[in-house]
Amino acid sequence: MPKLVFIIVSSSFFFMSCLIAPTNERTACIYDLKEKKGVLEASDDSCQFIAIDLYQNDNMTPEQKEISILTANFHVIKCIEYHEKLKECKKEINYYLPALHPE
């Protein structure tokens, strides 16, 4: 009886881990892209910014306004890079497998 319980529990853990892992090249690429959370990397977070609202604040100095414009430009560029990489991931043939070719 204890062996049967062990086998059932072990197989259920194995099955659940197979469901969590990426299943093919496309999902592996998309999963890897969405997991990137670095400040300087193109990620989904790059597309969520409020630096444009900071520019319209009248209490800011010209230097602060320039910094907010540069920050907004940086985030827009990273957002565009993210969407280009996402578009590459969604192509039919993709040879990128992060599990086999780590950086």
Percent of the chain whose predicted confidence (pLDDT) is above 70: 54
Cβ-proximal residues to 60 (8 Å cutoff; 6+ apart), any chain? 54, 68
Residue 54 CB coordination number (10 Å): 16
- Spatial CA neighbour of 81 closest among 43, 53, 54: 43
Whether residue 70 is contained in a domain is answered as yes
Domain that holds residue 101: 24-103
More confident residue, 2 or 94: 2
55-84, pLDDT tens digit by residue? 567 787 888 888 878 888 888 888 888 889
Split into its structural domains, the chain has a count of 1
Integer Cα distance of 40 and 78 in angstroms: 8
Whether residue 18 is contained in a domain is answered as no
Find where tokens 């999963």 sit. Answer: 31
More confident residue, 91 or 19: 91
Whether residue 68 is contained in a domain is answered as yes
Average pLDDT over residues 49-58: 62
Whether residue 88 is contained in a domain is answered as yes
Pick the range with the lowest mean pLDDT from 3-12, 13-22, 69-78. Answer: 13-22
Whether residue 12 is contained in a domain is answered as no
Average pLDDT over residues 18-38: 69
